[in-house]
Structure 1
Amino acid sequence: MSEPTDLTVGPAAAPSPAGPSSSPQMPSDASEVPASRRERQEAEATTARASRAGRNLPAAITVGVLLLGGALVGLLWAPIVLAALVIALLLLGVYETAHALSSRGVLVPVVPLWIGAVLMPLGAYFGGIEALVLALAVTILIILGWGVSRGAGGRGESVMGSVFVAVWVPFFLSFAVALLRLEDGNLMVACMLLMVVSNDTFGYLVGARFGRHPMAPKISPKKSWEGFLGSTVGSVLVGSVAVALLLDHPWWIGALLGALTVASATAGDFSESMVKRELNLKDMGSMLPGHGGAMDRLDSLVFSAPVAYMVFALPFT
């Protein structure tokens, strides 16, 4: 944290001498002062609102369009583009999570985690789950080597924090890349994303309208049981249709995955909320303009990606 800037206040201007020819200043109307102050405050507030909207809304739309465009290109034509997009998001997610932990005294090295954020999705893309697990092991060895090379102070805490970030961010999310190796893997990823989006959308709409009973008020006060029910119904319906139409699988596989997606996405949201609450943060970062941090967008996928992989890899699918 940078030191406070030393602000130097210049000497006050001396009052101008009042000569005999100086005309006395007439007292201003007292009612004009509050009025002008109110007008100035309202103008400043309006300017601030316009500035915030002008800065965030276009940025949010631009980032959203770029992410959606990259995902569509990867899903429809070039899976390697989707893998590259995942790597870019993992690099951001690892950085902001490590920075958040380090700002609270848990020194987490970024470079070993960046190496893991590249190795794990590439291993999943080119070698499948076996290569993904091997990449995680290599990442942990690099973290341990970094910890040994440091002094004794805080070494164990830093190593454990680094391993947590390596598993929570790049390892779990790389299962989405591993799906691309399966037959019709791009369509499986599309189904998973549709169910995750349905979970968020229906949960928000139903929760905002009918939410009365919070699920875990100390962790995520805005999550309600009514919203959870809306998420379940919406995700199950979307999953049943998407899996049947896109993959030609029985509808009940989509319904099963839809229900599991709601449970895993909610767990992922709660996990990020617990981390932010523990670190006293509102957002994990601000590296995606208009969207907060990368993990604020990826939290629902943290556990949903492994769950989707396990369901689609089962023999009956």
Structure 2
Amino acid sequence: MRREHRSAAEIEAQIQAQIHAAREQIEATRERVNKRTGRNLAAAVGIALVLGVALLVSLLFVKVLYMVFATVLVGFALFELASALRFAGRDVPRVPLVLLGSAIIPVTWYFGAAGMWWSTLAAIGIVALVRVVELSDPSTRTGSAAVFADVRAGALCIAYVAVLGAFTVLLTVQEDGQWWMIAMIAMTTVIDTGALAAGVWLGKHKLAPRISPGKTWEGLLGGAVLAIAAGIALSVWLLGQEWWFGIILALLLVISATVGDLAESIIKRDLGIKDIGSFLPGHGGFLDRLDSILPSAAVMMALFQITHA
């Protein structure tokens, strides 16, 4: 009985040791991925799923909900970018910037492209006027060059976040435009995921080391390969296009997504920060999540217009 008892105890100890070793291996792999990607991957995936479900519900069931969804995202992203710019020394009027920039989304929804451009001009003009009016307070007088830089910073926020975000609205309000939006979101997700996986496991040659040290040519190629496969499938089954359209779609979105990602990296590098915001665990901020989507929306809208001319 003692021998059997010792044998059972030894088996239990061996099992516990194996479980402990497996747990350590999983943690080591997770830490390796987090270190390579610069973020908590588990949290990133969880947040992405929540946002993805909310997006699909708004696009598939009640389209007008997408307008609300986009307005909230653009508002948070504008606040993050304006706050980052203020931290870097630019006096950007955040309240009017967020309110007027976010308003571009519903104006675009109801009045189309003309409403988008007129509301954009109005938003940039009013934000600039607010900055000039602030000069009545002596503490805000930093010289004409600095004030002009503040005005440019406000215009950048509106053009980069609100206008590009409005292209998603222009696309969604089109007949069957929601399917093109879903395809675009799916494609940018595939590109990011493919680039991340290939970069983590195969990445050796830096794509733009001075701008974004974590990005590699191997990651770009991995994202492109998956994007082509996804693009062909989505073109045929979701968008009603020829298979070769999926290759064009994939290549264009790989370029736009990469440019968007690098553009945000340039902004962060110039501002000396790691993330634009910290609202989304594992992602940084809303703009960190939207960087590849924003320019891709303009590309997708152009492709929609070309194919429906």
- Does 1:251 pair with 2:243? yes
SS at match of 1:174: helix
1-structure distance, mates of 2:290, 2:55: 14
- Does 1:220 pair with 2:204? no
2-structure distance, mates of 1:62, 1:82: 21
Counterpart amino acid of 1:105? Answer: G
Counterpart amino acid of 2:73? Answer: L
SS at match of 1:215: strand
| Residue pair 1:70, 1:81 contacting (<8 A) in 2 also | no
Which residue of the partner structure matches residue 50 of structure 2?
66
- Structure 1: 5+ residue runs without aligned partners? 1-48, 50-55
Q: Return the structure number with greater helix share.
A: 2
Which residue of the partner structure matches residue 60 of structure 2?
76
SS at match of 1:314: helix
- Does 1:139 pair with 2:120? no
1-structure distance, mates of 2:88, 2:157: 15
2-structure distance, mates of 1:206, 1:186: 30
1-structure distance, mates of 2:227, 2:47: 25
Aligned pairs for 1:253-292 within 5 A: 253-292=245-284
Q: Mean alpha-carbon deviation: is it higher for 113-122 or for 87-96?
A: 113-122
Q: CA deviation at 1:266?
A: 0.4
| Residue pair 2:81, 2:157 contacting (<8 A) in 1 also | yes
2-structure distance, mates of 1:155, 1:201: 41
Q: CA deviation at 1:272?
A: 0.7
Counterpart amino acid of 1:77? Answer: F
| Residue pair 1:147, 1:156 contacting (<8 A) in 2 also | no
How many pairs does the alignment contain? 263
Counterpart amino acid of 2:121? Answer: A
1-structure distance, mates of 2:258, 2:282: 22
SS at match of 1:150: helix
- Does 1:314 pair with 2:306? yes
Q: CA deviation at 1:291?
A: 2.6
Aligned pairs for 1:288-299 within 5 A: 288-299=280-291
Which residue of the partner structure matches residue 86 of structure 2?
102
Q: CA deviation at 1:189?
A: 0.2
Higher RCO structure (Cα 8 Å, ≥6 apart): 2
Q: CA deviation at 1:204?
A: 1.2
When the two structures are superposed, what TM-score results if normalisation uses the length of structure 1?
A: 0.78
2-structure distance, mates of 1:199, 1:160: 32
2-structure distance, mates of 1:86, 1:174: 8
Which residue of the partner structure matches residue 187 of structure 2?
195
Greater gyration radius: 1
2-structure distance, mates of 1:83, 1:59: 26
Q: CA deviation at 1:282?
A: 0.8
Q: CA deviation at 1:148?
A: 2.3
Q: CA deviation at 1:62?
A: 5.8
SS at match of 2:207: strand
Deviations 1:217-264 (A, max 9, x none): 010111111111111111121111112101211122222111111101
CA gap 1:257/1:59 in 2 versus in 1, 3 angstroms? closer
1-structure distance, mates of 2:49, 2:201: 28
Counterpart amino acid of 1:242? Answer: L
Counterpart amino acid of 2:256? Answer: S
Counterpart amino acid of 2:66? Answer: L
- Does 1:173 pair with 2:165? yes
Q: RMSD across aligned C-alpha pairs, in angstroms? A: 1.9
Q: Mean alpha-carbon deviation: is it higher for 269-278 or for 203-212?
A: 203-212
Identity %: 34
- Does 1:205 pair with 2:191? no
